[in-house]
Amino acid sequence: MRSKSLGTTSGEPAPAFSQPPRLTEKYAWYAVTALIVVTGCWISLGKFQQNQNADSIVPVLVSLQHWKPFYWETNRYGMLVPLLAIPFRHPLVNLIFQSIVSTCAGLACSFLLVAYFFEDSIFWLTAAALQNIWLLLLVSQPTQFDWFVDQCYGVSFALAFASLILAEKRKTFLALGLMILCHWVNSAAFVILIPLVLQRHLIDRHKRGLFRSLGVVLAGAACGFLFMFTARYQTTQSGLVSRDLWISGWLALLHTTQGAVLTKPIFAWWMFVPGALGVIITLLLGSSKRPLLVSLAFVNTGVLYWLFVGSLAWTRANVYVPRYIYPALLLFSTAAALAAVAPLQRIPLQPGVTALAAVALMFVAAVFAFGRPSVSEVERDLHRQFGAMTAEVLASHAPIITGSYWVVWPAVFDANLALYEQHEHRKVYGFTYRGSGTSPQWVRQKVCMDSSLHDPEARNYMDSIGRHFHLEQTFGTINMYCEN
C-alpha cells in the first residue's frame, strides 16, 4: 500500500519541509482547473477556428437542427457535447461553446491521466502541463484542432480518467455514470482503459480497488456496445482484417502519421531528448523509479492500442488516417513528459506552486500559439471561409443546399448564421452525405435546392429521392433547381 507522504516510497518529491495540508493542495487543484478552462476558452476564441470543416460543423448542426444520439448516419461518436449545447440557439455561440467544452476536455486528458496514477501529490501535474505545452507548440494546428474538436477522444478520455479517479475514491455510481458517457461518446475507449487499470495496480502491487475499477470499465464498455449495436445506422465495420494484413496495416498507420502530426518531424526530439535524459538522471540519482514504471505503462498501452487499431477493418477502410492513433500519441507524449520531470522529485519543491507554475506556462504557450482571442474575428473568419455562396443562397429562398459534403455543411452553417443575425426564422438544410438527419423536416414538401456551380454530386442527390428537378436559375456562385 502506498505511503501518503511525498517520500520516495510513493514516487513523490521528497522536500526538506513537511507536507503542506491537504486543503492547500485542494485549492491548488481548483486553480489548476480554472487555468485549464481559461486556456480552453482562449484557444477556442481565436484563430483556432480557422480549422473548422464539414466534419466539425456537423455536430453544431446536430445540436441546432436535429439532435440524435450519434453523429448523423453513424453508430459511433455519441453526441454528448451537441446535447449540452442545445440551449445555445445562436449558431456561432453554439459552435464556440462546443469548441470550448471539447478543448477543455482535450487539455484535461493528460492531467486526469496523471492524477489517476499519482493521486497523492499534485506535483506530477507538471508532466501533464508539459505534455500540453508540447502539443500547443510542436504539433500542427490542423492536428491540434482534430484532437480538440474534430474527434471524440478528448471528451471520452476526460470522462474515462475522471471516472477511474472516482472509482478509486469509492464513488462507484458516479464513476459508472461517467464511464457510460465515455463509451457512448467512444465505444473503443476500453481498449486503453483496461491495460492502464491493470498496470496501475501491478505497479502499486495491491488489488485494492482493482475489481471495482475493472467492473466500472467493463460495465461502461457493455453499455457502449449496446448503444452502438442498437443504433439505427450500422455503418461501422467491426472486426479485424486478415492476419496477413496486420503488419502492413501497422506500418501504414505509422507512415501516415509520420510528418502529419508534428509541424516538423525533427520536433519529436524536443520530446524524446528530455524524456531520455529524465530516465538517465533518475536512474543515476537512485530516485524512486515509480514515475518511470508509470511511463512504461503508458508506452505499453500506447503500443497495444496502435497494434489494435492498425488491425481493424474500419481503419483500413479509412486508409489509415492519423486520427486513429491519437490516443496512443497522448500516452507516448505523457510518458515522455513524466520521464522528463521525474528527476525533479529530489528537489525540495512546493507541489502546488510547481504545478500551478507549469499550468501557467501552458496558458502562455496557448497565447503564443493562437494570439489574442476575438469573437468578432472568429465570425469574420468563418464568413470568409464558408460564406462564398451565402448571399445568393439567401436571395434564392431555397431551403436546401445539395452537392459535395465538404461544401454543403459549411455553407449550411454560414447561411443559418446569417439568417439568425438578420432575425429571420427560416432555416437552410443540407442534402448530402450524412444529410438524412434533417430530411424529415423537408422531404415531404415541394422544394427548391441550391448547389455550387458545376458540382457533379448535386444532380445525384436530387435524383436519389425520385423527383425531377429542373434548373430554375443560375446565380454567380450557385445553381437553383426546383421541382416540376
The rounded distance, in Å, linking the Cα atoms of 341 and 22 is: 22
Cell 446565380, located at residue:
475
pLDDT of 402 higher than 50 = yes
Mean pLDDT, rounded, for 334-361: 92
The rounded distance, in Å, linking the Cα atoms of 179 and 190 is: 10
The rounded distance, in Å, linking the Cα atoms of 209 and 68 is: 36
Task: Give the model's pLDDT for residue 239.
Answer: 86
Task: Please tell me whether residue 447 adopts helix, strand or coil conformation.
Answer: coil
Task: Please tell me whether residue 446 adopts helix, strand or coil conformation.
Answer: coil
DSSP state of 148: I
Mean pLDDT, rounded, for 363-368: 96
Tens digits of per-residue pLDDT, 142-179? 999 999 999 999 999 999 999 999 999 999 999 999 99
First to last CA, the chain: 77
Tens digits of per-residue pLDDT, 30-57? 999 999 999 999 999 989 999 999 999 9
Q: Of residues 265 and 2, which shows the higher confidence score?
A: 265
Query: Among 5-9, 33-37, 188-192, 279-283, which is the least confidently predicted range?
Result: 5-9
β-strands 448-452, 469-474 pairing: unpaired
The rounded distance, in Å, linking the Cα atoms of 381 and 87 is: 24
C-alpha cell at 177: 455514470
DSSP state of 262: B
The rounded distance, in Å, linking the Cα atoms of 34 and 136 is: 18
Task: Give the model's pLDDT for residue 5.
Answer: 37
Task: Give the model's pLDDT for residue 23.
Answer: 47
Angle of helix 290-310 relative to helix 269-285, nearest 10 degrees, comes to 140
**Where exactly are the structural domains of the chain?**
17-370, 387-483
The rounded distance, in Å, linking the Cα atoms of 31 and 33 is: 5
What's the pLDDT band for 460 if we cut at 50, 70, 90?
Answer: very high
Angle of helix 375-386 relative to helix 405-421, nearest 10 degrees, comes to 130
Residues with Cβ within 8 Å of 281's Cβ and at least 6 positions away in sequence, in order, are: 342, 343
CB distance 150 to 56 below 8 Å: yes
Burial class of residue 62 in the structure, from the number of CB atoms within 10 Å of its CB (0-12 exposed, 13-18 middle, 19+ buried): buried
What's the pLDDT band for 16 if we cut at 50, 70, 90?
Answer: very low
β-strands 469-474, 478-483 pairing: antiparallel
Angle of helix 290-310 relative to helix 326-341, nearest 10 degrees, comes to 170
Tens digits of per-residue pLDDT, 77-111? 999 999 999 999 999 999 999 999 999 999 999 99
